[in-house]
Amino acid sequence: MLTIDIQNKSFDSDVSIIKNLHFSVDKNEIVALIGPSGAGKSTLLNLIAGLDEEFEGTITSASCATHNIGLMFQEARLMPWLTVLENVLLVAEGRKDKQKAKQDALDILKLVGMESHEHAYPKQLSGGMTKRVALARAFMFNPEVLLMDEPFASLDAPSAEQLRQKLLILQQQMSSSILYVTHDLTEAVAIADRIIFLTEKPMTVIEQREVSLPRPRYLHDPEVSEICQFFYRQFPDLLCSHENSAKCM
């Protein structure tokens, strides 16, 4: 279990970005974070990943002293001078058995549908393909917890849907927990075991709700739409804007 207890995070002594935010992520659980743009969700992920240690509070893991955190950003962030296979192996440089590491990387690339592109360079790949490689690299790290910051937002709908399903397959095989930031409530309902709703700055938890629909789930499933409509009615001030006001009727 990953436990987040942030009493205060600020970049200016007078302005709190995050305040009194508390929640946990269970083993093998997928938790979606959803809230207004600019609330501080990316800042929160940086704190959990240890990229920013300037805050009041604690972030702890029950399973190990130093929690094993993986990251997947909005951009694929591949090294352009490395091949697909070499990019995935970057996170396995410390492993002694190089042959086993290479085979593991090839197995993960096969799971994301990139097994025939292991010798290609990032510039030779489409946007969706680079995201597949980034996903493979994230799981090659074998993370206890994988942090994902709107990882598929830039993709077309079919590519994003394919990658969401690949993500779920990898998550089950690796037994990783996932903390998934998205602005899309439908995506959150389709992918998560639990959704945490966040306020504007200073960001805190306003509500948590479990999603018990069986998998696989898809964005256009009627059951997914019904749950979204329920949440829109429950949290109109948080979820309803001028752009999506029709969903809140």
Cα–Cα distance for residue pair 182/147, rounded to 1 Å: 11
Cβ pair 140, 91 in contact under 8 A: yes
Domains (range + CATH), the chain: 2-68+143-248 (3.40.50.300), 76-142 (no CATH)
pLDDT of residue 107: 93
pLDDT, tens only, 205-247: 999 999 999 988 999 999 999 999 988 888 776 665 434 444 5
The structure tokens 């966040």 sit at 198
Positions in the chain short of pLDDT 50: 65-66, 241-246, 248-249
Distance CA 204, CA 20 (A): 6
